[in-house]
């Protein structure tokens, strides 16, 4: 033993001395020794090595606990009746003792969390449960729990379900305990953290714990104190989301019980904004669960009860008053305030209006039971306060008319917009004209544009809603047409205002889409003159116009004749092309120093290209409709995914009740039959003009290029535009793909990308410049958008093939080299809290199994490979218990690296079916070298991200990898699963990412050594997860992901020739396992729901 450790050992023995004076002498020495670098180094090494015969941090902590017990016992047995100064001295002594514990934990865990979680939890729970320890000990222990345990991912993953439950129970009892000494806000924060941890790391709390929340909310009503209530409600929301899937009725009943109390608290207490936000979120959640997807009746999927109906009316009344108060505060505030109400309140109000608005009832008398006293509240026979409320669209119309103040009008414009947008059927035919008339009156009343955007958005939703109505009477249509003509005229005149240009174009597009007004020649002038620049809203509006209308040959210029004199020989189609490409009508665009707007901003994928190509066709409308009929690929739909709870709503509808009628309407519009391209003919003069303009645009960029000043993003945008136009021409059959490759447009695109590649080369030596990082990341995003990995024939796929051929071998290798340098750059690491425990837990040691092949996977790693000895203690608080895959762990360089990695994966994947200028196999080998065992450190967040990206994107769904590459890709899989086996979020992500690998496992010679090796590696991981699910150590989401893997295996190997799980010496063919699950299904529901049913029984 070293001298340093020997000194510490002697000090520890003195701390256990029976005499208080001897113990007191050693405290300062103890604090000094646990900070001594040599002592710390030895303690770290011994803690990591798990050699019990040496002194380590856990052993020192046990000594410290004995010291605290002795000191506490001395204070407890001291004379109770003493002077005030003596009592103060004793309080100070307790604070010193408690501070010593916090100080020790900070020292021990400063570089990495080396103290055992179990030891820490036992100490904290024993201290908190012992009422004789006083408020000081309890508060300090609670702080330790919150900041030093629950905020560390390693500890977060080690806490068992029983421990989560015990923590929840103990701290909820503390919260409900009426004592002045308890810091309720701190306790409430712990309850929220514990609930979050329990619901993410286990299958959640038992439903019987719902009573705790009910008591806490009643307590807040009785005490008239909302201290910590926002954290309690946040925990309640987390709990309900996990519970709702299996206990919907129980959750609904609890909502019926608790919400009246929250209504009382809202109206009778003075709440801060943060608490109101949480209450609104809880109300919204209850709406989703009671009325999934807006269902209004039990037959359609709603949960109905008299009490809930009463609550809805009371919440409606409450929100009407709240919105009025918000408006009043805005009107009389001296400071500048936003006239809009927050979206969450608007969404809740719209959902409630959808439920309570009824054409039969314009007013209703409601019982406000929540306004009664506590004694009356417990007496259900006590009389309730009555109040008459107004309902229906009359309420919205009245609020839009009764005041001229924006603070009064705008919230109701927001509500009407959201209500019509989400529930178009909620606007009756009879209300169309009155509402439209009011909105028309509001439109010209502009006050510096503050109100106008909200009026325009509401009008847009009304236009879209009317376009869907097919049962309007002819007289009503005539009245509406007159109003729409007036609105069209006002909107058209306001298009030059940049502040509201997006809303103006949105409204014009909605009117065109619904065929509400006949488009005149004046409309087309918007896309030929200087009234506005090309923008996303303008392009979307133009797309709709070209889809719905026939483009005139010319337009009368009238007052603007002088502007068009120089272009009198151009057709309208050509003028629109010039406006889109240059926003100028002169012929000297090549000499212009200013770049056109289309090179400075991003537009929807291929939207410009489809417009330009359609304009060159003789039948422009048919061509545009042909392009619009192409279904959007999944790759470009990822940004519009629904929030996760939407899946639960679908589950409620599909497992119990009929499908909603209004949900199927959307699907009918999105599943149009694809038309044939036969019959399209091009106007050769217009095509030549477009080619000339595009060549001029590219020449402008090439002639003005400078490696130091030119923006690589504009080069990529222009190159993408050129190949996009070629792709659209090929799709309609105007030119062949081989002809496109030889075209001058393609050669210009190639030159542009070569120049763009120079920015990559320059970056190799300047990887720390933030401006270059941002610019390069934007460029990589643009390049990735140009690639298309779906197999369906489409303009996107053709353009993707063209763009792929622009990528030179030098460009690809430069990006791969940058990836290598970025991922292995030496940075200050801060991911220690993300990884598996270094201790040998007996309950997780699977070495005792007969078959070690899959079980060795889950042995603990040596501590030295898990943590970095130079970790910073401050990072614990920064990281907390965040998911290791959270973006907050990554720097800007890390994000650039991951973007480049995804781009390279997509390139080498799609290159398998395209002719390219680089060796895809070489790039793929470089990518696989990134996960070489000698360099890969899966304890680092970036390396974990990197491996998961490769695992998901490198195989591709449609393009199989060579089997030797599959073997290399799977090599780290067992290690990463072992390292993160307790982290349920990471486990779920891993299982979801390996799905694409499955299709690669059944290719080529099934008897080849590489194939058997790859299959064995994959099955080893699945076997290990299967075993953990059997032992109840995986959450529902992980079990569901596992079942998806089993289903993928079944599809790849239907007869289970090789897809056989071997657990504990027994074989389980995958086809038999899945068949057993299928027999248990009770409902005819969607496939994802069958996953849930299967996963629950794993």
The pair of structure tokens assigned to 200 is 């993410």
1031 by DSSP, 3-state: which? coil
Residue 851's pLDDT is 41
Tally of CB atoms within 10 A around 436: 22
**In sequence order, what are the beta bridge partners of 363?**
390
Q: Where are the alpha helices (DSSP H) in 357-444?
A: 374-378, 393-401, 406-422, 429-442
Contact 1072, 1066 (CB under 8 A): no
Write the burial class of residue 160 (CB in 10 Å: 0-12 exposed, 13-18 middle, 19+ buried): middle
Paired sense of beta strands 1060-1063 and 1066-1069, if any: antiparallel
Count of Cβ atoms closer than 10 Å to residue 354 Cβ: 18
Cβ(651)–Cβ(1092) under 8 Å?
Answer: yes
The encoded tokens of residue 239 equal 């709990």
Placement of tokens 């402008």 in the chain: 700
Strands 385-390 and 363-368: antiparallel
CA gap 778, 711 in Å, rounded = 11
Nearest CA to 950 among 932, 967, 937, 931? 931
Give Cα 483 to chain centroid, integer Å.
Answer: 41
Averaged over successive runs of 10 residues, the pLDDT of the chain (1098 residues) comes to 81 82 82 89 86 83 87 73 72 81 90 91 88 71 90 91 92 81 87 92 82 89 82 93 87 92 88 90 94 88 89 92 78 59 92 87 71 49 70 91 85 95 92 94 71 93 93 89 94 88 94 93 88 91 95 66 51 92 59 76 93 94 92 56 67 59 38 54 93 93 85 93 96 93 95 92 78 90 90 89 94 93 65 36 34 43 36 36 88 94 93 88 94 89 94 82 91 93 93 89 76 91 89 87 91 88 83 62 36 41
Q: Alpha-carbon distance 274 to 230, whole Å? A: 7
For residue 239, count CB atoms less than 10 angstroms from its CB and return exposed for 0-12, middle for 13-18, buried for 19 or more.
buried
Q: How far apart are CA 504 and CA 510, in angstroms?
A: 10
Alpha-carbon torsion angle 198, 204, 206, 207, nearest 10: 120
Non-local CB neighbours of 16 within 8 Å, separated by 6+ positions: 23, 63, 66, 67, 70
Query: What are 1069's strand-pairing partners?
Result: 1060
As separate numbers, helices (DSSP H) first and strands (DSSP E) second, the chain gives 52, 4
Look up residue 416 and give its two tokens: 């009407």
Helix boundaries (H) for 450-524: 452-468, 474-493, 501-513, 521-524
Burial per residue of 407-426, b for 16 or more beta-carbon CB atoms within 10 angstroms, e otherwise: bbbbbbbbbbbbbbbbbbeb
CA distance 784 to 807: 12
Helix axis angle for 712-731 and 607-615, nearest 10°, is 50
Tokens of 934: 């000698």
Angle at Cα 458 formed by Cα 452 and Cα 462, nearest 5°?
140
Cα gap 123→61, rounded to integer Å: 10
Residue 772's H or E segment, with its range, is helix 770-785
Dihedral over Cα of 14, 20, 21, 27: its sign: positive
- Find out whether 177 and 138 touch, Cβ atoms under 8 Å: no
The answer to whether 820 and 966 are in contact (CB under 8 A) is no
Q: Do 504 and 540 meet the contact criterion of CB atoms below 8 Å apart?
A: no
Contact 276, 342 (CB under 8 A): no
pTM of the model: 0.86
Residues 194, 197, 202, 204: what is their CA dihedral angle, to the nearest 10 degrees? 50
Query: What per-residue confidence (pLDDT) applies to 12?
Result: 86
| 431: Cβ contacts below 8 Å, ≥ 6 apart | 393
Question: Are the beta carbons of 326 and 683 closer than 8 angstroms?
Answer: no
> Which sign does the torsion angle of CA 60, 65, 66, 70 carry?
positive
Calpha distance 1009→784 (Å, rounded): 36
Nearest partner of 144 among 191, 105, 188, judged by Cα: 105
**Helix ranges restricted to H, 50-116:** 57-77, 84-108
CA distances from 353 to 229, 324, 327, 347, 860 (A): 27, 16, 19, 10, 55
**CA distances to 589, 837, 987, 1085, 1092 from 1044, in Å:** 56, 28, 13, 16, 10
What is d(CA 692, CA 683) in angstroms, rounded to the nearest whole number?
A: 14
Q: How many CB atoms lie within 10 A of CB 305?
A: 14
Expressed in percent and rounded to 5, the helix, strand and coil fractions of the chain are 70, 0, 30
Of 760, 714, 754, the closest CA to residue 903 belongs to 760
Task: Compute the half-sphere exposure of residue 338: CA atoms within 13 Å on the CB side of its CA.
Answer: 6
Three-state SS for 51?
Answer: coil
> Which of 244, 207, 213, 246 is closest to 228 using CA atoms?
213
Buried b (16+ CB within 10 A) or exposed e, 309-334: ebbbbbbbbbbbebbeebbeebeeee
The answer to whether the beta carbons of residues 621 and 547 sit under 8 Å apart is yes
Look at strands 385-390 and 1060-1063 and give their pairing. Answer: unpaired
- The pLDDT value recorded for residue 930 is 94
Closest CA to 282 of 338, 330, 236, 227: 236
**CA Rg value for the chain:** 34
Neighbours of 1067 (CB within 10 A): 10
């Amino acid at each position: 033993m070293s001298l340093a450790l020997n000194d510490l050992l002697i000090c520890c023995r003195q701390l256990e001395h029976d005499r208080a004076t001897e113990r007191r002498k050693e405290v300062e020495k103890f604090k000094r020794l646990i900070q001594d670098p040599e002592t710390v180094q030895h303690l770290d090494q011994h803690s990591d090595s798990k050699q019990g015969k040496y002194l380590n941090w856990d052993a020192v902590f046990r000594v410290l606990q004995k010291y605290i017990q002795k000191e506490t016992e001395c204070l407890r047995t001291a004379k109770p009746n003493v002077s005030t100064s003596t009592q103060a001295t004793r309080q100070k002594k307790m604070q010193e003792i408690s501070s010593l514990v916090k100080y020790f934990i900070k020292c021990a865990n400063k570089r990495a969390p080396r103290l055992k979680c179990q030891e820490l939890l036992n100490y904290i729970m024993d201290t908190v449960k012992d009422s004789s320890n006083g408020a000081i000990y309890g508060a300090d222990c609670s702080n330790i729990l919150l900041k030093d345990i629950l905020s560390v991912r390693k500890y977060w993953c080690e806490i068992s379900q029983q421990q989560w439950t015990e923590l929840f129970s103990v701290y909820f009892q503390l919260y409900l305990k009426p004592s002045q000494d308890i810091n309720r806000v701190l306790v409430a924060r712990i309850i929220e953290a514990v609930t979050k941890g329990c619901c993410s790391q286990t299958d959640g709390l038992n439903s019987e714990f719902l009573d705790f929340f009910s008591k806490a909310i009643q307590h807040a009503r009785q005490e008239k104190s909302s201290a910590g209530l926002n954290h309690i409600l946040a925990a309640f929301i987390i709990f309900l989301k996990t519970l709702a899937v299996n206990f919907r009725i129980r959750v609904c009943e609890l909502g019926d019980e608790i919400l009246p109390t929250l209504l009382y608290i809202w109206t009778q207490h003075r709440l801060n904004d943060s608490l109101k936000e949480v209450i609104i979120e809880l109300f919204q959640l209850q709406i989703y669960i009671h009325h999934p997807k807006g269902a209004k009746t039990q037959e359609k999927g709603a949960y109905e009860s008299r009490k809930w109906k009463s609550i809805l009316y009371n919440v409606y009344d409450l929100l009407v008053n709240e919105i009025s108060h918000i408006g009043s505060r805005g009107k009389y505030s001296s400071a500048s305030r936003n006239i809009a109400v927050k979206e969450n309140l608007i969404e809740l109000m719209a959902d409630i209006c959808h439920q309570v608005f009824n054409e039969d009832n314009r007013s209703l008398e409601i019982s406000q039971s929540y306004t009664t006293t506590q004694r009356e509240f417990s007496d259900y026979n006590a009389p309730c306060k009555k109040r008459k409320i107004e309902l229906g669209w009359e309420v919205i119309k009245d609020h839009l008319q009764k005041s001229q103040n924006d603070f009064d009008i705008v919230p109701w414009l927001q509500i009407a917009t959201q209500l019509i947008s989400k529930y178009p059927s909620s606007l009756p035919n009879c209300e169309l004209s009155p509402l439209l008339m009011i909105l028309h009156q509001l439109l010209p009343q502009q006050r510096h544009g503050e109100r106008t955007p909200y009026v325009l958005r509401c009008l847009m939703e009304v236009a879209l809603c009317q376009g869907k109505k097919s049962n309007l009477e002819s007289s009503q249509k005539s009245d509406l047409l007159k109003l729409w003509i007036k609105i069209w005229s006002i909107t058209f005149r306001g298009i030059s205002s940049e502040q509201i240009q997006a809303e103006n174009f949105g409204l014009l597009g909605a009117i065109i889409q619904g065929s509400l007004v006949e488009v005149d020649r004046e409309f087309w002038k918007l896309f030929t003159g200087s009234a506005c620049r090309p923008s996303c809203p303008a392009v979307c509006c133009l797309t709709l116009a070209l889809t719905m209308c026939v483009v005139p040959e010319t337009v009368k210029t009238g007052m603007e004749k002088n502007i068009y004199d120089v272009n009198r020989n151009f057709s309208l189609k050509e003028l629109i092309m010039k406006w889109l490409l240059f926003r100028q009508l002169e012929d000297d665009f090549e000499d212009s120093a200013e770049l056109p707007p289309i090179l400075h901003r991003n537009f929807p994928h291929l939207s410009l290209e489809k417009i330009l190509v359609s304009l060159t066709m003789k039948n422009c409308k048919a061509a545009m409709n042909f392009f619009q009929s192409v279904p959007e690929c999944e790759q470009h739909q990822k940004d519009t995914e629904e929030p996760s709870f939407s899946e639960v709503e679908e589950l409620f509808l599909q497992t119990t009740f009929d499908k909603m009628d209004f949900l199927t309407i959307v699907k009918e519009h999105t599943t149009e039959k694809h038309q044939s391209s036969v019959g399209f003919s091009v106007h050769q003069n217009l095509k030549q003009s477009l080619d000339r303009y595009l060549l001029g645009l590219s020449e402008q960029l090439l002639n003005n290029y400078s490696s130091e000043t030119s923006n690589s993003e504009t080069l990529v945008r222009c190159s993408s535009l050129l190949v996009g136009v070629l792709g659209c021409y090929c799709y309609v059959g105007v030119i062949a793909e081989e002809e496109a490759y030889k075209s001058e447009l393609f050669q210009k695109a190639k030159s542009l990308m070569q120049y763009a590649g120079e920015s990559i080369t320059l970056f190799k030596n300047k990887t720390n410049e933030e401006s270059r990082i941002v610019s390069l990341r934007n460029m990589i995003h643009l390049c990735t958008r140009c690639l298309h990995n779906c197999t369906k024939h489409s303009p996107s796929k053709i353009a993707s093939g063209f763009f792929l051929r622009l990528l030179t071998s030098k460009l690809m290798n430069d990006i791969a080299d940058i990836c290598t340098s970025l991922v292995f750059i030496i940075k200050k690491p801060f991911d220690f809290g993300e990884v598996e425990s270094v201790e040998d837990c007996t309950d997780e040691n699977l070495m005792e199994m007969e078959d070690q092949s899959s079980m060795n996977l889950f042995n603990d790693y040596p501590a030295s490979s898990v943590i970095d000895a130079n970790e910073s203690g401050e990072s614990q608080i920064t990281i907390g218990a965040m998911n290791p895959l959270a973006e907050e762990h990554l720097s800007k360089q890390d994000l650039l690296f991951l973007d480049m990695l995804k781009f390279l994966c997509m390139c080498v994947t799609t290159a398998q079916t395209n002719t390219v200028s680089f060796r895809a196999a070489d790039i793929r080998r470089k990518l696989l070298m990134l996960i070489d065992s000698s360099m890969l450190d899966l304890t680092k967040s970036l390396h974990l991200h990197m491996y998961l990206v490769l695992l998901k994107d490198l195989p591709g769904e449609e393009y199989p990898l060579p089997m030797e590459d599959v073997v290399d890709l799977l090599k780290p899989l067992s290690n990463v699963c072992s390292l993160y086996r307790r982290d349920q979020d990471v486990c779920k992500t891993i299982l979801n990412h390996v799905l694409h690998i499955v299709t690669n496992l059944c290719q080529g010679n099934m008897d080849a050594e590489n194939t058997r090796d790859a299959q064995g590696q994959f099955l080893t991981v699945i076997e290990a997860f299967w075993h953990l699910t059997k032992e109840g150590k995986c959450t529902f989401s992980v079990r569901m992901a596992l079942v998806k893997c089993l289903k993928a295996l079944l599809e790849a190997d239907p007869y289970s020739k090789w897809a056989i799980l071997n657990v504990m010496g027994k074989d389980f063919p995958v086809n038999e396992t899945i068949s057993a699950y299928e027999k248990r299904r009770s409902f005819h529901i969607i496939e994802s729901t069958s996953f849930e049913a299967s996963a629950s029984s794993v």
